[in-house]
A and B are shown apart, each in its own frame.
Chain A
Amino acid sequence: MRDGRGTIKRKAGLKLWLSGGWLAVVAVLTLFAGWISPHDPLTQDLFASRLPPFWAAGAEPGYLLGTDSLGRDVLSRIIYGGRVALTVAIIAGLATAIVGSVLGLIAGYYRGWADAVISRLVDIWMAFPPVLFAILLIAVLGTGLWSIVIAIIVIDWTRFCRVVRAETMNQSQMDYVASAVVAGHVRSAILWREIGPNVLPTIVALLSLEMGIAVIVEAILSFVNLSISTDAPTWGGMIAEGRISIHQAWWVLVCPLIVLFLTVLAFSQFGEGLKDRFDPVLR
């Protein structure tokens, strides 16, 4: 039977491999940044400032992606900047997923007043534009890694809550839940041991999207200098510096931008790929 399932499956597989591959590369580079990065990301060398990347004329062999206006190695700074980006992505992504999913599971399974309270809260939350929330929170919490993480949780838990709630309501109608009830399992046990694992694929797919969002939020905040301390290299910070010297040294902007672009795209495509893979119709 030709119904296009095979094609979608192949496409989803390719998506997963490409995006997963890129994310793995970034993860390995940042994890072993100390051994891999060719230079110290903070060392300035004013005699070697604004060196172009290796393919352009006038490049120095030691600096693969050139140097910025203070003579710092762009490649090393990208690798170390990836540390901040991935740390925020993992911590903020997981924390947001946990907070939103737990509330979504409770609302979707127990219904009643718990659902009423949580759903109303989601509605109110959604009416408040995220950027204003972020401005307020960062103004109050000050800058730093934890402020970013808290800001992301506070803004984005609703994304998980809505989807997980809907999926939990779906799962609750299934026969296996009815069997568990007949078998005499306690309600909370059914929720965490039976429904939870079945909602997990949805949560994992969303988590990947959320990590991409976290990377962007971190980049934006470090771009406007409201992220972690100013001397640690971040992609957003590099983009801000590159934006200033764009006519003299375009690579300072372009290199971190490409990496940021690919990472955000990889996270969202990985999530999409997972969604396709877990789709019961395709299975």
Chain B
Amino acid sequence: MRLLQTLLMRLAMMAITLFGAAVIVFVVIRVVPGNPIAMMLPPGASDEDIARLTAHYGLDKSIPEQFFVWLGGVLHGDFGTSISLRQPVMPLVLGRLPATLELSIFALVLAVIIGGAMALTGTRFRGGRTEAVIDVANGAGLSIPDFLWALVLILTLGVLYPVFHISGRISPSLDLPFTTQFYVFESILRLRFDLWWDLLKHMFMPALALAIPLAAIIGQLLKQSLKETMHLDYVVLARTKGYGENHVILFDALRNAVLPTLTLIGVQFTFLIGGTVIIERLFSYEGLGNMAIDAVINRDLPLIQGIVLVFALLFTVVNLVVDLTYALLNPRLRHA
């Protein structure tokens, strides 16, 4: 019952947050100096042409009127027309979203694996040289941002030892049988492991660059929680029962130590998704972030609105999922 209540509360909060985001995006964009219509037309266009195009994009109405027309459209999935690409915004954004989702999720998986492994190894060999090495690695991961990691990866694994591809999402020479934009997922379903491998070779470096800072955070926090848990009575009991150190860490300590890390991963995952904007640019990866930068350079307001709103939706969904998982995993909330 409590869970259902939490869920409803969260959904209501989500709606409010999204509405707030929509208002902010709309207001911020509308104070832009400079006329986007003038930028679309060739020099020497007549005033009539300008007026016609202004009316076409609804820019001649009052600001509140524009907002509600725009919001009504958004609720029907109509985000307007991109000024630079001259296509409806919605299909453009949806076409790019899967690429960004696949990249973010892959990065998250990498971060959890690397960070988890570091925390477990550090706890297993705590107090020794291994832990010291892991602490230094964590420190480096924390103080250097993904942008620089990406460049280092490009130079080492892309140029010096070209193991991975440094640009694009898939090799252009391959013919693509895909019907959806979820290439990685679909290549597995179609049992086309040659394509899957190619996709992975493109995705690995951008995902790793995004994963390193998050892995460091996970490694640090999880190790700290694990070390605290190791002194608790029930862990000591498990040890006196004769279980080995590995068993105690993996099956007794980990289960209780993982909760704080889980909450943190939720917050940090939204930052990771935000990071895709610049990382996609660096690797010429055709995702939403890359499109966002083009939209800013072209001052394509409808497209920017659409992208920012989709990102905002993504963030609220991630937060919702994290909250619910937390509620499900935490016995105090589950049985209350």
Whether the Cβ atoms of B148 and A131 lie closer than 8 Å is no
With A136-B304, A216-B147, A264-B144 already in contact, the answer to whether A131 and B277 are too (CB < 8 A) is: yes
- The size of the chain A interface, using a CB distance under 8 A, is 35
Whether the Cβ atoms of A139 and B147 lie closer than 8 Å is no
Whether the Cβ atoms of B278 and A224 lie closer than 8 Å is yes
Whether the Cβ atoms of A129 and B143 lie closer than 8 Å is no
Contact of B293 among A224, A254, A261 (CB under 8 A): A224
Contact of B308 among A132, A224, A243, A265 (CB under 8 A): A132
Interface centre among B34, B147, B275, B307 (most CB of A within 10 A): B147
Whether the Cβ atoms of A136 and B159 lie closer than 8 Å is no
Interface centre among B270, B292, B296, B301 (most CB of A within 10 A): B296
Interface centre among B144, B151, B293 (most CB of A within 10 A): B151
- With a CB–CB cut-off of 8 A, which chain B residues contact A140? 28-29, 31-32
CB interface residues, B 142-169, toward A, < 8 Å? 143-145, 147-148, 151-152, 154-155, 159, 166
With A257-B155, A265-B144, A268-B143 already in contact, the answer to whether A136 and B273 are too (CB < 8 A) is: no
Q: Mostly helix, strand, loop or mixed at chain A's interface?
A: helix
The residue in chain A whose Cβ has the minimal distance to the Cβ of B147 is: A220
Whether the Cβ atoms of B154 and A243 lie closer than 8 Å is yes
Contact of A129 among B33, B152, B274, B307 (CB under 8 A): B274
Whether the Cβ atoms of B311 and A132 lie closer than 8 Å is yes
- With a CB–CB cut-off of 8 A, which chain B residues contact A247? 159
With A138-B296, A253-B151 already in contact, the answer to whether A131 and B144 are too (CB < 8 A) is: no
The residue in chain A whose Cβ has the minimal distance to the Cβ of B270 is: A129
Whether the Cβ atoms of B299 and A139 lie closer than 8 Å is yes
CB interface residues, B 284-321, toward A, < 8 Å? 292-293, 295-297, 299, 301, 304, 307-308, 311-312, 315
Whether the Cβ atoms of B275 and A131 lie closer than 8 Å is yes
Q: Mostly helix, strand, loop or mixed at chain B's interface?
A: helix
Residue A239 is within 8 A (CB to CB) of chain B in the complex: yes
Whether the Cβ atoms of B274 and A132 lie closer than 8 Å is yes
Residue A250 is within 8 A (CB to CB) of chain B in the complex: yes
- The size of the chain B interface, using a CB distance under 8 A, is 42
Complex CA gap A179/B301 in Å reads 57
The residue in chain A whose Cβ has the minimal distance to the Cβ of B311 is: A132
Distance in Å from the Cβ of A200 to the closest Cβ of chain B? 23
CB interface residues, B 17-69, toward A, < 8 Å? 17, 21, 25, 28-29, 31-34
Whether the Cβ atoms of A135 and B151 lie closer than 8 Å is no
Whether the Cβ atoms of A135 and B297 lie closer than 8 Å is no
Residue B271 is within 8 A (CB to CB) of chain A in the complex: yes
- With a CB–CB cut-off of 8 A, which chain B residues contact A182? none
Residue A92 is within 8 A (CB to CB) of chain B in the complex: no
Complex CA gap A260/B152 in Å reads 12
Residue A38 is within 8 A (CB to CB) of chain B in the complex: no
- With a CB–CB cut-off of 8 A, which chain A residues contact B25? 136
With A136-B304, A250-B159 already in contact, the answer to whether A129 and B273 are too (CB < 8 A) is: yes
- With a CB–CB cut-off of 8 A, which chain A residues contact B292? 135
Distance in Å from the Cβ of B335 to the closest Cβ of chain A? 29
- With a CB–CB cut-off of 8 A, which chain B residues contact A216? 145, 147-148
Complex CA gap A212/B17 in Å reads 31
Residue B101 is within 8 A (CB to CB) of chain A in the complex: no
- With a CB–CB cut-off of 8 A, which chain B residues contact A131? 274-275, 277-278
Between A and B, 21 residue pairs with Cβ closer than 8 Å are: A127-B17, A128-B312, A129-B270, A131-B278, A135-B296, A139-B295, A139-B301, A140-B28, A140-B29, A140-B31, A216-B147, A216-B148, A239-B151, A243-B151, A257-B151, A257-B152, A261-B144, A261-B148, A264-B145, A268-B143, A269-B143
Give 10 new A-B contacts, CB below 8 A, not counting A129-B315, A220-B278.
Answer: A135-B304, A136-B25, A138-B296, A140-B28, A220-B147, A226-B297, A254-B155, A257-B152, A257-B155, A260-B148
10 nearest interchain CB pairs? Answer: A131-B274, A129-B274, A268-B143, A139-B296, A131-B277, A224-B293, A140-B32, A136-B28, A220-B278, A216-B145
